[in-house]
Structure 1
Amino acid sequence: MGPIDSTNWFKRGRLVEQFGQQNNSSITEMGPLAGITVVDLSSVVVGPTCTLTLADHGAEVIKVEAPEGDLMRTLGGGARNPGMTGKFMNFNRNKRSICVNLKTEEGLFLLKKVLAKADVLVTNMRLGALQKLGLDYASLKAMNPQLIYCQILAFGRGGTYFNRPAYDTVIQSSAGVSATFEKSSGEPRFVPLVMGDHITGLVSAQTIGFALFRRTRTKVGELIEIPMFETMAAFVLREHMGNMTFEPGIGPIGDARVLDKNNRPVKTADGYISISPNTNAQAFAFFDAIGRPELKVDPRFDNVTNRTKNSVEYYEIRSSSLGSKTSAEWIEIFERIDIPCMRYNSLEDLLEDPHIQSVNFLQQTVHPSEGLIREIGLTNKFSGGNRQGFTPAPRLGENTIEILQEFGASEQEIEQALATSAIVQHRQST
């Protein structure tokens, strides 16, 4: 619909002409992105992470799915019903699903009706496919000059690897994430979560926010390109380039403290805890607590600079000094002397963590088809108000007809598209 400036065509009764007929309390319950319409032409994790972030903060997200549905509907693990895995639901709440066969002229025509009025498009489809469908930025800009078009790429345009396909593991390996494991443990590995997808998705949402802010002043949209490889390479190198920042380099690449093999949860008598005594006051208190007060005047450890230079020895002392007491006993000691520490949580423990419970982080809701589920709460708060309440992740094509009606499709166009399977109203995916 472009910027909210004169007419609001929303059906759902939440916004009316720049909120003019809404009172302040109802506006604050919508979230900071209320009134922004996002078309989500993405799948799996990276794009849905971006659009989930936008949706959780009030944007109206329309998830466009092919007849076979988002791959996470089946690849996402266990499910009570086909096409509704827990992982899919975690990435796709607060969205509505429109099921369109973009290989048909009717389906493509109807999707363009939606895009002509949207604020934002998010896609991780490859550029060649988008151009073939007439869904590239130049084509859509001609019909909607206010569109913010976010293209999530594997590798940046103009680079050696541009237009290669990639998944998260490919990016972790090529962007140096796996190399950090090799430096610390001798073997390259993947972080056992799709970290590149998560981070790139969040960066994409952040960048869309910047573009929307600029559009309030310029009144025109723009193309945003977010490459996963460069995004993750930037994260790795900001952390580890260090000595190689200088020309010529003044030492080996990599933060030795972070890469140390003993930079990990510390074994206690009955489990593990994490502990991080970094300042002089914290380190000296730690030496006292473990019965090694002489280390406070040891020239290897008597200040931050020396402990950094001798991080291997320092981490070795930390990792081998807590076996005489239980985790609870050490935590009580370290909390009393103001050393940052926390108990180690297994994945199962995390669900029952007392802080997680006290801040209502996991909330029970009832999904219309999946029954009782747990939703992950918002982790950031706005004094001006957060979006209130969640809508459950949609079944495939659940909202196809209502969305097309909202965007001006005629009854005849919808009936014809249904008859030719150019669009699909809700059915369980297989």
Structure 2
Amino acid sequence: MSEQKGPLDGVRVVDLTAVVMGPYCTQIMADMGADVVKVEPPTGDNARYISVGPAPGMSGVFVNVNRGKRSVVLDLTTDEGAAALRALIEGADVFIHSMRARAIAKLGFAYDEVAAINQTIVYTNCYGYSRRGPEADRPAYDDVIQAQSGLAAVQKLLTGETTYVGTIVADKVAGLTALYATMMALFHRERTGDGQEVEVSMFETMASFMLVEHANGAMFSPPLGPAIYPRTVAPNRKPYPTKDGHVAVLIYNDKHWNAFVDSVRPAWIGEYGEAFSKLEQRAKQIDVMYGLIAQTLLERTTAEWLELFRELEIPAAPIQTPDELFDDPHLNAVGLFETVDTKHGPVRFPGVPTWFSRTPGRVAGPAPELGADTAEVLAEVDSLSERQFGAVVDGLGSPPHVSLPRVGP
């Protein structure tokens, strides 16, 4: 029986992205079977150097979001490097980059120039801000976008301090958005044969993401309230202290509320009557409800509450650190983690969180050393002459005496 292949098997991606937004998008493509050719400058993707790792240029962040890709080093400011990239584009399905618009245009690889080489290509731009607005070509990082999109301000409403959340949420949400946008364009191409240009920007993505629930009353004309969803910024919305720790629980809808009250606080039925009987009433005084629950949960241990909530089918969980996720029984039971042998030793990756009955994805393999696949990838390109091939690999100091299994005339 042949090995099952992911749903993107046969798709070739030319990836000029760096750091996290774009690489996270293309990492998922690689896990789903795509051949992702990561084109890096001679200095490499900056993410190679931003955290701990087993070797120089192999930081943990880089290794995770670039697993299973092939690294090709090209100096696109040279004629040889640009010619090699054009040759790669000829056989690609997707071209994706995270440079600012003027930078990619200066190199000669804006959409019109790439489409002239391959008219059916899906060309995805990953920007900080859309080219269509006044902030076009401004640099952007996750912290800046968290602030500008309203996330830092919402954190102040919740915690009393203007702060960032403890994850690079803007990068990752924008990366996922770039993924689904690219997949939609590929789906359109499968139906029509037409390629197209796609633009995904961090600011617009996070503004849309934040306003899913926070647009709320501000969407209507005239406005029915501010752009905020009260439940998520209630001061008492936080993990509840228990007798020996903390527990996360949301006793929210009528079924869960009634189950909790009947089991733990039946006196509340007479004490509060209609004030808390329905979700609509509780939503209007959500922080009062959170406060009542907080006082009650101090009476038992975390384990006791978790046992009761499981019995009552109320959503609840313990507080876990990122380290503890690697030992989580459920995550290990479903096989989320995959160990891959690399030249630096085994790496335990957090793997593919989705499941397909016919075309499952899997961790595509180890992350590449800088330029490790330059010779192999360029040797696969029929339109690249032996002279051009030699100019690229020799100029980058690649190992000598590389064999050429297939080259153009």
Q: Residues 425 and 320 of structure 1: is their aligned pair in 2 closer, same or farther, counting only changes over 3 Å?
A: farther
Q: Compute the displacement of 1:388 (Å).
A: 4.9
**Cα deviation, residue 364, structure 1:** 2.2
Aligned residues: 398
The answer to whether 1:418 aligns with 2:393 is yes
Verify: 1:162 aligned to 2:144, yes or no: no
* Cα distance between partner residues in 2 of 1:347 and 1:418: 41
The aligned residue for residue 314 of structure 1 is: 289
Q: Deviations over 1:146-173 (max 9, x none)?
A: 1100001111122121111101111110
- The separation in 1 between residues aligned to 2:59 and 2:283, in whole angstroms, is 46
Per-residue Cα deviation, 1:252-278 (whole angstroms, up to 9, x for no partner): 321111111221211111211111122
In structure 1, C-alpha distance between the alignment counterparts of 2:191 and 2:91, rounded to whole Å: 19
- Residue 339 of structure 1 is matched in structure 2 by 314
Residue matched to 2:188:
214
Deviations 1:398-425 (A, max 9, x none): 100010011123333222223333x756
TM-score, scaled to structure 2:
0.94
Partner of 1:303: 278
Q: Which runs of no fewer than 5 residues in structure 2 stay unpaired?
A: 401-409
Question: Which 10-residue stretch deviates more, 100-109 or 288-297?
Answer: 288-297
Within the alignment, does 1:114 sit opposite 2:91 as a pair?
no
Higher deviation after alignment, 39-48 or 151-160: 151-160
Supply the AA of the counterpart residue of 1:36.
V
**Alignment of 1:366 onto 2:329:** no
- The answer to whether the Cα contact below 8 Å between 1:50 and 1:202 also exists between their aligned partners in 2 is yes
SS in 2 for 1:78: coil
2:374–2:393: 8 Å Cα contact kept in structure 1? no
> Within 5 A, what are the aligned runs for 1:89-108?
89-108=63-82
> Structure 1, unaligned stretches of length 5 or more?
1-24
1:45–1:425 CA distance, 2 compared to 1 (3 A): farther
What residue number does 1:37 align with? 12
Contact 2:349 2:363 in 1 (8 A): no
Query: Could you tell me the percent identity over the aligned residues?
Result: 35
2:254 to 252, 273, 280: 280
Q: Which residue of 2 aligns with 1:174?
A: 148
Q: Please show how residues 22-421 of structure 1 align to structure 2 within 5 Å.
A: 26=2, 29-75=4-50, 77-295=51-269, 297-368=272-343, 370-388=344-362, 390-408=364-382, 409-421=384-396
Provide the secondary structure at the position in 1 that maps to 2:275. Answer: coil
Measure, in 1, the Cα distance between the counterparts of 2:322 and 2:263.
Answer: 30
Against the structure 1 CA distance between its residues 43 and 184, is the aligned structure 2 distance closer, same or farther, given a 3 Å change threshold?
A: same
- How far apart, in 2, do the equivalents of 1:248 and 1:206 lie? 34
SS of corresponding position for 2:71 = strand
Q: Give RMSD over aligned pairs.
A: 1.7
User: What secondary structure is seen at the aligned counterpart in 2 of 1:321?
Assistant: helix
Alpha-carbon contact 2:33-2:364 (below 8 Å) kept = no
Query: How far off its partner does 1:365 sit?
Result: 2.2
Deviation at 1:80, TM superposition (A): 1.6
- Structure 1 residues 257-302: Cα deviation after superposition (integer angstroms, max 9, x where no partner): 1111221211111211111122212112222343353247533211
Write the deviation string for residues 6-60 of structure 1: whole angstroms up to 9, x where unpaired.
Answer: xxxxxxxxxxxxxxxxxxx64x711111111001101000000110111111111
Secondary structure in 2 aligned to 1:299? Answer: helix
Give the distance between the partners of 1:372 and 1:36, measured in 2 at CA.
Answer: 28
Secondary structure of 2:297 counterpart: coil
Matches of 1:138 and 1:398 in 2, distance apart?
30
SS in 2 for 1:300: helix
Q: Distance in 2 between matches of 1:83 and 1:253?
A: 43
- Please, what TM-score do these two structures have when normalized by structure 1? 0.89
> How far apart are the structure 2 equivalents of 1:119 and 1:424?
27
CA contact (8 A) 2:42 2:74 kept: yes
